[in-house]
Amino acid sequence: MSMELSGVGASMSLRPADTSPVSSARSGFGDIMKSTIEQVNQIQNSGEEAIQQLNTGQAESLHGVMIAVEEADISLKMLVQMRNKALQAYEEIMRMQI
């Protein structure tokens, strides 16, 4: 007597978890990029908040506002350069001869 499974889970195949170095590097790089983007976003929000405080007269000093805005600008520029370098590396890998 043979039993045939039908339904949603019937076509699923079980594979062992991918523990190769490439897989762990990929997840590590993704984690680094995600945390970097989150940090840049927080810094951008801090810069926006400092500007809002300046507009409403709640800012303690203009110097603090300028520092927050410049920090946000520099962090955004760094993120853009990281993206450019990652894109260049990807393009170089795609041009490699196999």
Residues 31-89 have pLDDT tens digits of: 888 999 999 999 999 999 999 999 999 988 999 999 999 999 999 999 999 999 999 99
Domain ranges of the chain: 23-95
pLDDT band at 22 (very low <50, low <70, confident <90, very high): low
Q: Phi-psi category of 16—alpha, beta or left, where left has phi over 0 and alpha has psi -120 to 50?
A: beta
45 vs 8, more confident: 45
User: Is this model's pTM higher than 0.85 or not?
Assistant: no
For residue 91, give the 3-state DSSP assignment.
helix
- Token digits for 41? 């976003």
